[in-house]
Amino acid sequence: MRIVIFGAHGLTGRTLTGQALAAGHEVTAITRRPAEFPVEHARLRVVGADVYDGNAVDAATAGAEAVLSTLGVPFTRKPVSVYSEGIRNITAAMARHGVSRIVAVSSSATYPHHHADGGFLMNRVLQPIVVATIGRSTYADMRIMEEHLRGSGLRWTIVRPSGLFDTPEVSRYRLHENEAPGIFTSRADLAASLLEQLADDRYLRKAVAVTTVEGTPTLWQMMRNEAVKQPGGPRPDRSRTPR
Ligand SMILES: NC(=O)c1ccc[n+]([C@@H]2O[C@H](COP(=O)([O-])OP(=O)(O)OC[C@H]3O[C@@H](n4cnc5c(N)ncnc54)[C@H](OP(=O)(O)O)[C@@H]3O)[C@@H](O)[C@H]2O)c1
């Protein structure tokens, strides 16, 4: 399948790009920093585009059969618009080019809820604090993105991860409609769950939450790792990229 990945340079996006190539797809990776993109492959096209630039998004989307979005920005107290503006330009380009399938990453905290596996600390302390402070503008913009997709007329799926962490391999992750019991999602599992949607319409025009249950960190480990993650992600080893 010909897939366009927005946010391909990010931590999830790179994993997703590798998994999509390994699965035999033709991938167009969208990044604002194409010269720095660390993956080379015969079925990979790296395109420089800012999602705020409708013309660039339009050109990148032409010829695609499906769009995946792992777009994101770090938490900030400033207004966030990349999710909503990005999805507007992406869906407009899809409509123009007759591309109907889109799978976009949101968050399990977009509509905060009780996590069965979350315990007191997550449900009563951390989630309320993050949602009310550093995550407030991000989740507000994610909700606009989700509503835009619901009204788009496209064949959409919203994928909601919980706290992200990194693992080398995909595990036996779990999918639940709308809300996750768990509080962790590995980026490898998130990437795999995005690709899975292209082959399975169970969650077509629905939101699906992804939970990782194997090899999960502690809450403290996850927060520490996310706090020190490099903007745009680490530089992966080129020799491990599938060819
Ligand atoms: N961290 C968590 O615990 C958590 C929990 C739930 C959901 N999420 C969501 O999960 C998704 C993936 O997270 P991640 O940590 O893997 O992402 P990430 O490493 O922060 O990557 C996001 C990518 O989005 C791209 N991007 C940002 N603004 C852009 C723009 N204006 N135009 C084009 N591209 C732009 C950036 O690529 P370039 O700089 O190359 O352009 C960046 O590499 C995000 O949507 C995040 O909000 C995260």
- The domain limits of the chain are 2-232
pLDDT > 90 in the chain, percent: 80
Q: Indicate the top mutation candidate among 6, 14, 82, 164 to test ligand 1's pocket, ranked by most ligand atoms within 8 A of CB.
A: 164
In this structure, whether the domain defined by 2-232 belongs to CATH 3.40.50.720 is answered with yes
Which residue's structure tokens are 């064949």?
A: 155
Here the tokens at position 232 are 């745009």
238 pLDDT exceeds 80? Answer: no
Mean pLDDT, rounded, for 104-113: 95
Q: What is the pLDDT of residue 230?
A: 58
Query: What is the residue-averaged pLDDT of the chain?
Result: 92
Ligand 1 atom closest to the CA of 233, numbered from 1:
19
Q: Indicate the top mutation candidate among 17, 58, 73, 85 to test ligand 1's pocket, ranked by most ligand atoms within 8 A of CB.
A: 73
Picking from 59, 57, 44, the residue whose alpha carbon sits closest to that of residue 14 is 44
Q: What is the whole-number distance in angstroms between the Cα of residue 84 and the centre of ligand 1? A: 13
Q: Indicate the top mutation candidate among 11, 16, 71, 189 to test ligand 1's pocket, ranked by most ligand atoms within 8 A of CB.
A: 71
Query: What pLDDT, in 10s, does the model give residues 83-102?
Result: 999 999 999 999 999 999 99
Picking from 123, 152, 131, 135, the residue whose alpha carbon sits closest to that of residue 72 is 135
How many Cα atoms sit within 13 Å of 17 on the Cβ side?
A: 32
For residue 10 and ligand 1, the question of a CB distance below 6 A is answered with yes
> How remote is the C-alpha of 222 from its chain's centroid?
18
Picking from 109, 101, 86, the residue whose alpha carbon sits closest to that of residue 157 is 101
Q: What is the pLDDT of residue 236?
A: 39
Query: What pLDDT, in 10s, does the model give residues 120-175?
Result: 989 998 899 988 988 999 999 999 999 999 999 999 999 999 999 999 999 999 99
For residue 46 and ligand 1, the question of a CB distance below 6 A is answered with no
H or E element in which residue 75 lies: none
Provide CB contacts within 8 A for 124, sequence distance 6+. Answer: none
Angle, CA 9 vertex, CA 5 and CA 12 arms, to 5°: 75
240 pLDDT exceeds 50? Answer: no
Query: What pLDDT, in 10s, does the model give residues 75-84?
Result: 898 999 999 9
